Amino acid sequence: MDFEHKPVLFEECIENLDIKPDGVYVDGTLGGAGHSSAIYQKLGEKGMLIGLDQDGFALETSKKRLEDQNGKGSLIFANTNFVNIKSVCFENKIACVDGILLDLGVSSHQLDEAERGFSYNKDAPLDMRMDRRQKFTAETIVNEYSKEEIKKIIREFGEENWASRIAEFIVQRRDEKRIETTGELVEIIKAAIPSSARREGPHPAKRTFQALRIAVNDELGILSKAIEEGVNLLKPGGRFCIITFHSLEDRIVKNEFNKYINPCTCPSTFPVCVCGKKKLAESVHRKPIVPSVKELEENPRARSAKLRVLEKQ
C-alpha cells in the first residue's frame, strides 16, 4: 500500500523553519515526507536532513522518496520515536541542529490503513500502535485495565464527559467476551452515551479513540521529554516547529516552550527578578498559527491543527 499524507500547515512550517542551505534539520515525524521533501529541496551540499519515524513502513517509503529527489544535501534516517532525537544526532556525530519539526497528527495513511486500528470508522483489530514492534496495544488496555484506570485514561486523555459510563460499559461487555475489534468498541461507546448527547458534535467514539491512542503510545509523556531534548540540540537562532491536533498536546507545547521563553520563578509581586534564570528562547508568534480557510476546505483533517514556533537565543 502506498503512503499518502497531505502535510498540514505546509507553507507555514517551511517558512517558519527559516531553512538555510547549509543547515541541519530534523523531521521527527517523517511520515510520508510531505514536509521533508520541501526541506530537502532547499538544502545545499553542506546541508543535512535527519528523518525519524517509529513506523517502519513510513520510514522506508519516505527514504525512497527523498533519495529519488537527487537532492544536494546529506540524508540520515532512523526507525525510532522522536523522543530519541538527541541520541540519534549524537550517534551521527551531530552536536547541534538548525531546526526541528514535529507533526503530532496521526497520518492519513495510518487512519486509512484499517488494520492499524486507529479509525472508529473501520472495523479492525484494537491495535493503535505507532510502532508495531511494541507489544502493548489498545486491546490490552480495554481488556486488562481496571474500570478506574480506563475511566482515567478516557477522561484525562480524551476529555470525555461520559468517561465513567463508557468505562463501566466496557467492563460489563468484556465480562461476557474479550473486546477485540474497533467495531465492538464503537458499539459499546454508542450504547454508553445517551442518544441525546450523540446528536450533536463529533463522532461519539472520537474522544475515547484519541485517549486510547495517546495511552498506547505514551504520546504526552514522550512530548515533554522530546521538547527538552530538542531545545538543548538547537543552535542559537535555531527554530523548533510543533504541530498539535488537540488541546492536551497544545497545552504541553505551550507550557514547555514557556519554560525557555520566561523561566523566571520569582513571585509576580517582586519588582525585579532575583532568581537569576535567563531566557533561552523567544516565541516567533504571539499566538499559534492555524490553518487557513482554503486549507480547511481542501483538508478537513487540518481543522484542529495548531503550529507553535520557538527560536533559541
Q: What is the pLDDT of residue 4?
A: 56
Predicted pLDDT of residue 70: 86
Residues in the chain: 313
Per-residue tens of pLDDT for the chain, all 313 residues? 455 557 899 999 999 999 999 999 999 999 999 999 999 999 999 999 999 999 898 899 999 999 999 889 999 999 999 999 999 999 999 999 999 999 997 766 666 677 889 999 999 999 999 888 999 999 999 999 999 999 999 999 999 999 999 999 999 999 999 999 999 999 999 999 999 888 888 899 999 999 999 999 999 999 999 999 999 999 999 999 999 999 999 999 999 999 999 998 888 888 888 888 889 999 999 999 999 999 999 988 888 999 999 999 9
pLDDT of residue 3: 54
| CA distance linking residue 229 with residue 297, whole number of Å | 36
- What's the pTM value of the predicted model, to 2 decimals? 0.90
Q: 125, 130, 132: which is closest to 104 by C-alpha?
A: 130
CA dihedral 28, 292, 246, 199 (to 10 degrees): -140
Q: What is the pLDDT of residue 268?
A: 84
Q: In what order do the strands lie in the sheet with 281-283?
A: 74-78, 48-52, 24-27, 97-103, 234-244, 306-312, 281-283
Q: Which set of grid coordinates corresponds to residue 157?
A: 486523555
Question: What's at 174, amino acid-wise?
Answer: R
**For 180, how many CA atoms within 13 A lie in the half-sphere containing its CB?**
3
| Residue-range domains of the chain with CATH | 10-103+220-312 (3.40.50.150), 115-217 (1.10.150.170)
- Look-up of cell digits 549524537: 90
